[in-house]
Structure 1
């Protein structure tokens, strides 16, 4: 006979297994997009860039086709990155989160303050991936909904716990209200952090900006 505690532990194991399977699929799709489709597009672009026709009109059309292929290649690269960034495994969590923040702030044309030295030390793969996904979701939400003039992304270690903090001075929202369409990802972030023994907390108010804290344990 199972107890409520046993049922909760089973649900947690199943949820963690589901995340592992999802990330394995994302990694496979990312590699296929980047290595296979990306290589084909690069080859086509190279051919288009070096071929020359006998007429100005045809040259113009070829140049336009090469430009479109280049744009498509960039989108394939971005899609592969969003599925599972190769740099997360190759360069580590710090560089990957710095890249996320730099890209967002570059797109918005705003300053980005970063202090992520605490992410330089090796972390268990599950925790590193969880923190990456939290940063990805939080920064995406900022880009879509906050309209900030600055963003801050920091990480610090205290009492055997690592805290990732993502702050913006944008529109904020009512943290006591039911999540709207722009904040449905918060529940997913909380659940994902809970699976690695972590906790999500948010400080926000309408017109006052938002600070998101993701705390994870550094010991078992």
Structure 2
């Protein structure tokens, strides 16, 4: 089955503009035809008015003194109607008095009869020359109706030569054959001109729109190709981004494995050797205590230094090893980090936890624990633990926000050296490794706030 082909913009325009132009051409043509017909009719009226003023009005001047039929010079009117060229074109003629009485008519049966004064006749008595094509449906047109279907009807006023008062109205009837021929000829020429102009304009616009449409189609095809390529690149980017995030999550877990291994190695290696050395040093110190007190005192000094190193080594080993947080919830992980800090430093922390998801990916819990531990330790070292507060919340299961603040002396965050501190660098790298955000806000005398945002959509990894 062949798919239906969509029309291009140029084709749609050509169809729509063709319909509009055809409608416009018909409208303009009809309007011009009407104007031509009106102009020709008015010209006929002007000629008729001139004829009346020149030839007929002088023979009606008797009506200025009397409205009787005898005031009309009938023989002179009949000679005009029969001997002149215009009279030869007149097929019927009437003279009306102001009260609607027919004073003279080529149809003698109408003379002396009175009829209502209608629109054309009334306008003529108001001084206008009225010409129109009549369908001969009036009562006084009975004779004309039997011979013709329609005639050109003209009303022309006749005025008193002394006072310019309208004393009568002459009504002419002419055949419309010659007038209609002239009108049709003029209309045909006007239609040709209008059609030629419309076709020329249409072809010019069609050419312009056609070129524009081809340009648009070319650009659309190029845009579609670019969009397709962009979609492919976006898909590849999403795949790469997923790999990077999985690798970041895996790196976080592996780092903890490495730290746990280092902790175990320190505990099982150097710590054991130091423990053995302490035993031997203690025996040697006791052996020389009586024979050589000075040597015994030196051994005591070495023993104290070794014990101090042993204690430091155990502290480092304990700090490297992360508690078992995989099976516990995110909330419990946060509470454990704060509780361990309070237990170690005997410093109170105001903890506020919003509604959190029950579980979170292991890399997120690891980073949360490390960030809390390092942030609280920094506040304890630099702010003496004053006003320590922790606020943890999340937004629509999308992002976890951790805020650690204190009321310490604060510092100038514009100093570059601040961001080179190992603790801050480590926290920032941990957070950004998971695609999160790390913010540090502080001012002298206004305390410090560390705010981190971690995505909760980090891929899950195996337990460390």
Q: TM-score, normalised by structure 1?
A: 0.69
Work out the number of aligned pairs and report it: 209
Report the CA distance between 1:124 and its aligned residue.
Answer: 4.7
How far, CA to CA, are the matches of 2:360 and 2:277 in structure 1? 40
Partner of 2:241: 8
Structure-2 residue corresponding to 1:183: 419
User: 1:60-87 deviations in whole A, cap 9, x for unaligned?
Assistant: 22221211111111121122233334xx
Q: Which residue in 2 is equivalent to 1:89? A: 324
Q: Where do 1:159-170 residues align within 5 Å?
A: 164-170=402-408
Can you list the C-alpha shifts for 1:85-104, whole angstroms capped at 9, x where unaligned? 4xx1289844454334554x
Which is worse superposed, 29-38 or 121-130?
Answer: 121-130
Q: Is the 8 A contact 1:101 1:139 kept in 2?
A: no
Contact kept in structure 1, 2:249 and 2:363, CA below 8 Å: no
Deviations 1:120-169 (A, max 9, x none): x876532331112112332343356x344615243555666765442222
1:13-28 equivalences under 5 Å are: 13-28=246-261
Q: State the structure with bigger RCO (CA 8 A, min sep 6), 1 or 2.
A: 1
Q: Report how far residue 34 of structure 1 moved.
A: 1.5
Partner Cα separation in structure 1 for residue 312 and residue 436 of structure 2: 33
Is 2:351 aligned against 1:99? no
Structure 1 residues 188 and 96, CA gap change in structure 2 (3 angstroms) = closer
Tell me: CA distance 1:67–1:142, structure 2 relative to 1, closer, same or farther (3 Å).
Answer: same
Q: Distance in 2 between matches of 1:169 and 1:76?
A: 33
Q: Where does the alignment leave 5 or more consecutive residues of structure 1 unmatched?
A: none
Q: Distance in 1 between matches of 2:454 and 2:309?
A: 38
Match of 1:53 in 2: 287
| Residues 174 and 50 of structure 1: CA distance in aligned 2, closer, same or farther (over 3 Å) | same
CA contact 2:248–2:434 (8 Å) conserved in 1: no
Q: Give yes or no for contact 1:151–1:166 (8 Å, CA) kept in 2.
A: no
Q: Mark the runs of 5 or more structure 2 residues left unpaired by the alignment.
A: 1-231, 459-464
Residue aligning to 2:29 = none
Q: What TM-score do the two structures reach when normalised by structure 2?
A: 0.37
Distance in 1 between residues matched to 2:456 and 2:298, nearest whole Å = 57
Shift of 1:194: 5.5
SS of equivalent residue, structure 1 residue 112: coil
Check conservation: 2:263, 2:317, Cα contact below 8 A.
yes
Match of 1:136 among 355, 359, 373: 373
User: Does structure 1 retain, via aligned residues, the 8 Å contact 2:245–2:434?
Assistant: no
